[in-house]
């Protein structure tokens, strides 16, 4: 939990129905032409399920390549958490949406740097 100073990418996701908001910060390391998630931190405003899924997502994603990370699904987060009540499954989607936005932000910055 927290934020990363000078992150390589930042992603935000929210659910207007329940009011949960997640911000995900990533640090990426390039090793042998592979972009690897070195560190992740999150700030989540929401219920216990939203905070828990944010935390579990960071644990799952750390050390993964971007390609591997993008294959992670909400159901993987729920499974790692040990399940969620049906009414809280939407919380796991926040982490996935924030991750996708953070990676998109990173790739955009990387592309602009290489121009």
76-110 confidence digits (pLDDT tens): 999 999 998 888 888 888 889 999 999 999 999 98
Q: Could you confirm whether 47 is annotated as catalytic?
A: no
Contact 35, 59 (CB under 8 A): no
The pTM (predicted TM-score) of the whole model is: 0.89
Tell me, what's the pLDDT at 35? 96
In the structure encoding, which two tokens stand for residue 16, read together? 């207007």
Question: How does pLDDT run across 40-65, given as a tens digit for each residue?
Answer: 999 999 989 899 999 999 999 999 99
* Catalytic residue selected from 22, 91, 96, 101: 91
Q: Rounded to an integer, what distance in angstroms lies between the CA atom of residue 103 and that of residue 26?
A: 8
9-107: CATH topology is Sufe protein. Chain: A (3.90.1010)
Query: What is the signed CA dihedral for 57, 82, 79, 48, rounded to 10 degrees?
Result: -40
- Residues for the chain: how many in total? 115
Domain layout of the chain by residue ranges: 9-107
Residue 103: closest CA among 75, 68, 54, 76 = 68
Q: Could you confirm whether 58 is annotated as catalytic?
A: no
* Catalytic residue selected from 4, 14, 15, 18: 18
Tell me, what's the pLDDT at 44? 93
């Amino acid at each position: 939990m927290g934020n990363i100073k000078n992150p390589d990418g930042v992603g935000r996701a929210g659910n207007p129905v329940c009011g949960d908001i997640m911000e995900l910060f990533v640090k990426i390391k390039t090793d042998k032409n592979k972009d690897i998630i070195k560190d992740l931190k999150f700030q989540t405003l929401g219920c216990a399920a939203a905070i828990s899924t944010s935390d579990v997502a960071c644990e799952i994603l750390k050390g993964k390549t971007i390609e591997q990370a993008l294959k992670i699904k909400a159901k993987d987060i729920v499974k790692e958490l040990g399940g969620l009540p049906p009414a809280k499954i939407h919380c796991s989607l926040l982490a996935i949406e924030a991750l996708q936005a953070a990676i998109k932000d990173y790739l955009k910055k990387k592309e602009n740097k290489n121009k």
